[in-house]
Amino acid sequence: KEKEVVVICQSGMRSNKASKVLRKMGFKKITNVKGGMSAWN
């Protein structure tokens, strides 16, 4: 729970929800890739 966690999905919406769940579980260093894989053009 102390390590950095990076979450990504296609659009960024599901990974945003996952980030919130992880925070509630006690993870502290969470990065959500804004815009998801679609933003990687």
SS3 39: helix
pLDDT recorded at residue 40: 76
Count of domains forming the chain:
1
SS3 28: coil
pLDDT tens-digit profile of 1-41?
A: 999 999 999 999 999 999 999 999 999 999 999 999 999 76
pLDDT recorded at residue 36: 93
* Distances in whole angstroms, Cα of residue 20 to Cα of each of 5, 12, 24, 41: 12, 12, 6, 26
Containing structural domain, residue 11: 5-39
Q: Is the dihedral of CA 8, 9, 12, 14 positive or negative?
A: negative
Extract the tokens encoding 17: 């929800």
